[in-house]
Structure 1
Amino acid sequence: MMRTRPLKVALLGCGVVGSEVARIMTTHADDLTARIGAPVELAGVAVRRPSKVREGIDPALITTDATALLKRGDIDVVVEVIGGIEPARTLITTAFENGASVVSANKALLAQDGAALHAAAERHGLDLYYEAAVAGAIPLVRPMRESLAGDKINRVMGIVNGTTNFILDKMDSTGAGYQEALDEATALGYAEADPTADVEGYDAAAKAAILAGIAFHTRVRLDDVYREGMTEVSASDFASAKRMGCTIKLLAILERAADGESVTARVHPAMIPLTHPLASVREAYNAVFVEAEAAGRLMFYGPGAGGSPTASAVLGDLVAVCRNKLAEATGPGESAYTQLPVSPMGEVVTRYHISLDVADKPGVLAQVATTFAEHGVSIDTVRQQGRPDGAGSEASLVVVTHRAPDAALTGTVEALRKLDTVRGVASIMRVEGE
């Protein structure tokens, strides 16, 4: 039977995502009522700038006192789209203390304090849902938490930041340099005025921490994720990638060790073969490749950011949480029973593409090859190309290795930099997805 008393929702934040959530709640009210089994009412909207005109939202719902809104005593669900650590953390905790379940899109907070927030939700018998925190509209968190709950996930590899994928795609398809591609992304609204969080990998690392925790049933914090940005990726890197039949993507890679006793989590640019499904992900789209023991390989693809896609994920969580409220139940909480340690980056094993500027004279190749061998890194292919440098001559030496530990490669590069014949290490890039 349909319940007549509405479920009351407090919205924290009314920017691009929040305003879209409010719009959908209003325009799709009848559908939401039918899907949930009760009406859903927007009971209040907490903002920082109350004077701003917010089309379609009753001005009487606007407040700057988020704490008072949460403490009213009649709020059933809180939707948090403020972002950042504070005041979001305190407000979410206040919501739980006052009997409200929470839907959040806050990847930074969940990556840093997800365990504490899950514990607070469980202590009060409430829900914490956050589909919108990772990969926008793409259904990913709930399939991993629920649909694959009976399976064993061994690896997750994906493009989880639309801004960086747009930039790298433009560099690949048009030959543009990094700054030119970034300027285009900014002009089109894909990049913020300060793109640091995106291009230096902080955004992707927060999402990687959340996904690793879900995939491996262990706690992975933001500090556990190795992070490397993509600002140093150059047109020459793309040219080398094309010669190898590859392209370059900023990837989040989460892996369970072969012995099952540890996990790794990392974010960095990497070359991937054009035959890999992730290689065809264009512009600002996201895609995540999940490898599970029983299900095999699964790929989730779609728009990873923007007001409407993110609001879609928020509304999906809202429907689920409201249904749980009516059933007087809760959905899945944190699953961290494995307590697996997160191994350092030095233990990660993969292939590498190294570009060196060397003296163009006999014996250099042998000297470089010996350095790799001394550090236990096996060479797969070498390509050398001479070029005049005015006063003398230089050569570009490109080495692609077999699989080796990251620590061994780091030691190799440090030794190469000390060789008199090596003028510089122009580029180091991992090769993934083979």
Structure 2
Amino acid sequence: MVSVWLILVLEFLLSYEQVVYALKQLQNEHFSIAFDIPPDDPFSGVAQEILTLAASYAKRIELFAKIHSLSAELSKGVLLEDVLSRAYQAFRTVIPYSRLACALISEDGASLQLVWAHSSNPGNMRLTKGFQAALANSSLLQILADGEPRIINDLAVYLKRKPDSTSTRLMLAEGIRSSLTCPLVVDGKPVGFLFFSSKRRNTYQGAHLDSFKRIAQLISIYIDKSRLYQDIHDQNRTLQSTQEDLRQKSMHDTLTGLYNRGAILDLVQNAIHQAALDETRVGIMMIDVDYFKRVNDIFGHLAGDEALRNVAHAIRSAVRDYDRVGRYGGEEFLLLLSAPSDAAVDAIAARIHEKVGEIAPLPATRPVHLSVSIGIAVKAARDVDIDQLIEAADNALYRAKEAGRGCSIRHDG
């Protein structure tokens, strides 16, 4: 009798020691626990609870580790597109999905816009970036009110209950069958939603809601940060675009759209410098509209302005893409020639006369036809500066005027 009692005591103590050891293992965050306790042992129930607790702790620690890893990955993104692209790749270790999308709430809270979406089958996407929907009477408002993720494990059944849901209809057309919608909240303010979608029914389980909430909280922070960076980025781009517009306007003549005097002279100076380095020639043409004062006197300044625009267009259409044309002043234009061979220079001058001659004559008792005189200067860049080059072209232009106008003369020497 005594021996039986001793055996029972020993079994009790052994089970007790296993339980105590297991609890110490839990305290030290060691979750690989095993018991050698028979089902009829008084400690069997306790042992089972400890095993359940250990498994729960292990999953929680694993989730924390994954969330930490996700946070590290998301922190590498700056702009919204980058953050969400990283999220698409990173979340696969935590949540199953075939499609991930993000929609943000408008500033007035009245509507929702899809700002990003990616799918394992991008060619079949129907619900794409830019899709908008009003929030009024939307089932999404209940998600915001509850602050809890929503699971729909059969979208076909859901559509029967909500036949007016355009987004659900589009997702079903993509082959999506279940969805998880997580609210995105920053400092207590709803900013949007993250939509996880799967091609399989019953993909998402309510037991995982805590994990989904933690992930949504994490990405909310990074999306909010990325939106701030995105706003700054967009403002910088707008500023740069405005600055470029102002720069272009400062370089161009408002009447003709050609380079203005300062800009074309800068281009000539740069061309002389580069040609000197390359030991090549540089060439320009000074082009003057013949009898332009008569045009203004007879037809008025508005007609004169139109004539200058027509001449500018004619010159542009006659030159090569890589030649540069500017309005030098009044009715005078300056053409910078790239790689000016003698044959090319002669051909360009001939085309300019031809194109200007095609301009419709100004109506009068005797129609006035427009023409131009051209002075050409082509020099070895090492032997000339900008003032000398312009003076040479001006002298040639003067000789063209003296020769009866409507012709081209090249500077000798």
TM-score range, shorter chain: under 0.3
TM-score, normalized by length of structure 1? 0.18
TM-score, normalized by length of structure 2? 0.18
Comparing both structures, which one devotes a greater share of its residues to helix?
Answer: 2
- Tell me: higher relative CO, structure 1 or 2? Use CA pairs within 8 A at least 6 residues apart: 1
Comparing both structures, which one devotes a greater share of its residues to strand?
Answer: 1
